[in-house]
């Protein structure tokens, strides 16, 4: 009996550590258990920093407000270090990949490398003095009056995502639109020029008191569907008592003119001009031609990354102002 117990104890002493080791290894290899190497996603070897890219092509490099600038050989590249937005000689491009950060440095995909190389191969056009006929008419809108309405404000922030507020974005664009129109000789009245609350009826009163050639309300959109994107414009669908007889027809032409310009600069889906079935009060109750512009969806991450940039806000403002001018002058004018 004693001999049997000794043999059993010796057997347990030999095989128990092996069994424990086997169990430990099996658990480490179980599917679904991430290893340290699986959790770490290294930067691909063909991704480069803007500084490295500048050195390769003998370009100057600087960083300002998370934007990186590459300049030289008659070209300029602007890369947003936090989004897919990039500008190559002023032309907007939405990159396929978001830049990646590692140890304080920002890395860009091969798409940027290829685009920079392609850009530098292009010949710079000869700098020629523009003909008088090509120059925009500085006073093309002289004698015209417009009311530009920056939506929301003050206690009413509008929609918001990731810390970015609609009221702030639309105010910046509204100011730029006003500047564009004034530079062409127009008189512009803004319903608000700072972060203050103006009621819907207050905005309508400002417009009706001003009696403008057009009232343009500027907003950004939001939706539960995070893929929803693109600009859209709302026009009035009925004329109420006391409103000018041509309000509906002129509002429709104004909406179409602005949308035609916006569709050239916005990368989102074509959403078009829509009837004001949502009953936006500022569009319905103003006496003169009026439209409400939704510049894009702040709820869409890619579109939001554009809407918050000054460069894209300028593009939107130029498009809106150009659409207003097209409506007044009866057609597209460069």
Tens-digit pLDDT profile for residues 302-324: 999 999 999 999 999 999 999 99
Contact 261, 326 (CB under 8 A): yes
Strand-pairing partners, residue 67, are 64, 80
Helical spans, DSSP H, in 183-300: 200-210, 247-262, 281-285
Tell me what pLDDT residue 7 has: 52
Higher pLDDT, 81 or 180: 180
What pTM was estimated for this model as a whole?
A: 0.66
Q: How far is the CA of 184 from the CAs of 116, 139, 218, in angstroms? A: 36, 5, 20
Tell me what pLDDT residue 104 has: 87
Lowest-pLDDT range of 80-94, 154-168, 192-206, 298-312: 80-94
Tell me what pLDDT residue 160 has: 94
Q: What is the enclosing helix (H) or strand (E) of 22? A: helix 2-28
Mean pLDDT of 57-64: 90
Higher pLDDT, 252 or 73: 252
Higher pLDDT, 124 or 290: 290
Mean pLDDT of 282-305: 95
Q: Give the integer Cα–Cα distance in Å for 316 and 105.
A: 31
pLDDT band at 122 (very low <50, low <70, confident <90, very high): confident
Tell me what pLDDT residue 25 has: 39
Q: Give the integer Cα–Cα distance in Å for 95 and 14.
A: 61
- Which domains does the chain show, CATH number per domain? 48-121 (3.30.457.10), 138-329 (3.40.630.40)
Q: Is the predicted pLDDT of residue 222 greater than 50, yes or no?
A: yes
Lowest-pLDDT range of 148-152, 245-249, 268-272, 291-295: 268-272
Mean pLDDT of 12-23: 44
């Amino acid at each position: 009996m004693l001999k049997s117990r000794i043999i059993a104890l010796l057997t347990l002493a030999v095989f128990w550590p092996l069994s424990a080791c086997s169990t430990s290894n099996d658990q480490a290899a179980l599917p679904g258990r991430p290893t340290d190497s699986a959790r770490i996603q290294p930067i691909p070897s063909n991704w480069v920093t803007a500084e490295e890219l500048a050195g390769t092509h003998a370009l100057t490099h600087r960083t300002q407000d998370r934007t990186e600038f590459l300049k030289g050989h008659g070209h300029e590249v602007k890369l947003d270090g936090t989004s897919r937005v990039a500008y190559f000689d002023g032309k907007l491009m939405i990159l396929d990949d978001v830049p990646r950060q590692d140890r304080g440095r920002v890395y860009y995909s091969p798409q940027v490398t290829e685009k920079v190389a392609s850009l530098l191969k292009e010949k710079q056009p000869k700098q020629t003095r523009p003909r008088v006929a090509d120059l925009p008419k500085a006073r093309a809108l002289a004698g015209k009056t417009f009311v530009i309405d920056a939506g929301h404000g003050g206690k009413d922030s509008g929609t918001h995502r990731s810390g970015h507020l609609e009221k702030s974005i639309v105010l910046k664009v509204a100011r730029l639109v006003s500047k564009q129109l004034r530079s062409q000789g127009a008189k512009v009245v803004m319903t608000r020029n700072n972060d203050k609350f103006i009621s819907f009826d207050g905005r309508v009163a400002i417009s009706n008191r001003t009696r403008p050639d057009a009232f343009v309300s500027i907003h950004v959109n939001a939706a539960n569907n995070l893929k929803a994107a693109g600009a859209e414009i709302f026009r009035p669908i009925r004329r109420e008592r006391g409103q000018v007889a041509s309000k509906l027809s002129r509002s429709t032409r104004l909406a179409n003119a602005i949308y035609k310009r916006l569709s050239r600069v916005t990368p989102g889906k074509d959403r078009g001009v829509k009837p004001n079935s949502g009953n936006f009060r500022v569009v319905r109750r103003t006496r003169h031609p009026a439209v409400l512009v939704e510049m894009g969806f702040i709820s869409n991450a890619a579109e939001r990354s554009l809407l918050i940039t000054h460069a894209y806000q300028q593009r939107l403002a130029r498009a809106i102002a150009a659409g207003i001018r097209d409506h007044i002058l009866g057609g597209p004018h460069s």
